Structure 1
C-alpha cells in the first residue's frame, strides 16, 4: 500500500519551530490509542471524532418512551385521587389537601404514608428523567451545529487509520464503512471558500513545507504540511487578479468595438463570467452575487454610454 499523504495546515505555533534540525528523529509513539491520539492532536484540523447520530437518536427515543411511561403512571395516580375525593371516602380530605399543598404532600410522604410516598418517588423520577432528556436534546442540538470534516481531513484521518490499524477489538471499526460519514470536526476553518478548498485539496503538495514537525516520528514520513498563510495569500492574489482582469478586459474590449450588437454580446459575456466566478469560487450568498453583478454591469453600461457620447462629440 502506498504511503498515506496527509495534507494539513500549520498551526500558528509551528512557524516558530521551523529551525528544528531535520536530522532529529523523534521516537515513535506506542501503537494504539497513544499513536492515534498523537495524530489527532498534532493539528487542530485533525480534531475529528464520531458523532454517533444513530445511537444518540436511539438514546433520545428510549428516554422519550420512559418519560411517556412515567407520565401515564402519573395520570393514573391523578385519576385514582380524583375518584377518592369525588366519593368522599375516609381519606378524601387528606388526598385533596395533598393535591393542593406541596408542604402537606411532602410531609405525609416523609412520614411514610404509602399513597404520597409512591407519588413523590414517581415525581422525583420524572424530574430526573426529564433533566436527562432535555440535556441530551440540547447536547445533540449543539453537536448538529458542528461542521463535518472536509473531504481532505476525513481522507487523511481514515487513510492513516486504515494503513496503520492502531486499534483492535470493536474499536478497529471506529472509522470504517458508514462511520466515515458519521464524523464531526471540532474546528471550523476560517474563510473556507471554494477556491481555498480547491487549492488545499489539489495543490497542497505544491506549498508543502520541507521541514519536519519536531514531534513527528519516522513512520509519519508520508504526511506533509503546508502553511495556511501561504494559501490565504494566494487566494487573495488570485481573487484580485481575476476581478481586475474581468473589469479591464471588458473595458478594453468595449473600447475597440463599435457595432452595437457586438457591444451587447461582450456585456453579456463578461457579466456572466463575473457572476460565475463569484458563484463558483466564493461562498457569497445569492443576494450578494446579485448585488455585485448588478454593480459590475452598471459600471460597464456607464462606460459604454460615456464612450458613445465621446464618439458623437
Structure 2
C-alpha cells in the first residue's frame, strides 16, 4: 500500500469554519470587546409573560384552596393551616401517618409555586441585568459585522455570504438587541473621542490579517498620561499666569477664564455628574481666589478703614 501524499493532504485540509470560526474570531481579541451576543429581548419578554401567567393561575388555585380551608371545622385541617410540621406530616404521611388527599394536593401546589417562582425571579433578575448592560461599541460592532458578512470594503451593499447560515445569519441585524459582555473600563467622553478619532494609532492586526483591533489598554495608558499633563497645566498654568499679571482687571478676567476652562474639561472630557462638576469647579476657583488674595503677586497690603482709623494689613 502506497503512503499518502503529505503535501496533498495539507492542501485538502479545510480551515475551521462556521461556529468554530466565529468563536475563534470572538476569542482572538485580547481585550475581549468582541464578546457580543444577542439578548433576545422579545423572547425574554414573552418568557416572563408565560411565567407570570402560569404563576397567576397557580396563585388563583391556592386562593381557592384557602377559601375552602376557611370553612373547614375539623381540628386536623386547622392544625395544618397553622403549623407547618402538621401540614407536612399529613401531606407526606410522615411516621406512618395517613396521607390526607387534600393536604397532599395543597403541598404539591405549594412546591410547584415555589419552583416556578424561583425560576421567574431568576429570569427577572437576568433580564434586568442584561438591560442594564452596556451596548456594544458601534465601531467594534461594525467591524465584527463586516467580517461576519465578508464585507472587506465595509460598504453598505458589500455584504456577502454570512459565516453562519439559517436564522443565525441575522444575529447582527438589530444592534439594540445585542449586549457586550465586556467593555473597556474607561468609557468616559475623552476616551471615546480618542478611540473614534485617533484609534488608528493604537491598532494591531488580527491573527487572520483580515481585521484590526484597537488596543484599549494602549488607549487607557495614553489617556492616563494625557490627563495627568492636562491636570498639571490647569493647576500650575493658572498659578503662574496669575502670578505674572499685576492688573486687577486682568486677574479677574484670567481667573474667570481658567475656571471656565477647568469646568469645560471636567464636564466634557469625563463622565462626572453635574453635582461633581459644580463641586470640583468650586474647589478649583477657591484655590485660585485664595492665591490671588495673598501677597504672592506683589500686590500692596490691603487697607481697611474703621471710623477715623485706617488699618493697613501686613
TM-score by length of 2: 0.74
Residue 213 of structure 2 aligns to a residue whose secondary structure is strand
Residue 49 of structure 1 aligns to a residue whose secondary structure is strand
Name the counterpart of 2:115. 128
Question: For 1:28 and 1:286, how far apart are their aligned partners in 2?
Answer: 57
Q: Does 1:169 align with 2:155?
A: no
Name the counterpart of 2:179. 184
Q: Does 1:239 align with 2:227?
A: yes
Q: Does 1:250 align with 2:243?
A: no
Q: Which runs of 5+ in 2 are unaligned?
A: 1-12, 152-160, 302-314
Cα 1:261–1:82 change in 2 (3 A) is: same
Identify which of structures 1 and 2 has the higher relative contact order when contacts are C-alpha pairs closer than 8 Å and 6+ apart. 1
Question: For 1:237 and 1:135, how far apart are their aligned partners in 2?
Answer: 43
Name the counterpart of 1:12. none
Cα 1:28–1:285 change in 2 (3 A) is: farther
Name the counterpart of 1:52. 40
Cα 1:115–1:312 change in 2 (3 A) is: closer
Greater mean alpha carbon deviation, residues 301-310 or residues 53-62: 301-310
Contact 2:184-2:216 at 8 Å conserved across structures: no
Q: Does 1:150 align with 2:137?
A: yes
Write out aligned runs for 1:77-92 (5 A). 77-85=65-73, 92=74
Question: For 1:310 and 1:28, how far apart are their aligned partners in 2?
Answer: 80
Picking from 40, 51, 66, the partner of 2:26 is 40
Question: For 1:249 and 1:81, how far apart are their aligned partners in 2?
Answer: 81
Contact 2:90-2:98 at 8 Å conserved across structures: no
Task: Select the structure that is richer in helix.
Answer: 1
Name the counterpart of 1:281. 269
Cα 1:53–1:259 change in 2 (3 A) is: same
Greater Rg, structure 1 or structure 2?
Answer: 2
Question: For 1:94 and 1:243, how far apart are their aligned partners in 2?
Answer: 77
Cα 1:247–1:62 change in 2 (3 A) is: same
Picking from 248, 255, 280, the partner of 1:267 is 255
Question: For 2:115 and 2:291, how far apart are their aligned partners in 1?
Answer: 71
Contact 1:205-1:226 at 8 Å conserved across structures: yes
Greater mean alpha carbon deviation, residues 64-73 or residues 53-62: 53-62
Residue 78 of structure 1 aligns to a residue whose secondary structure is helix
Q: Which runs of 5+ in 1 are unaligned?
A: 1-26, 86-91
Contact 1:274-1:293 at 8 Å conserved across structures: yes
Name the counterpart of 1:119. 106
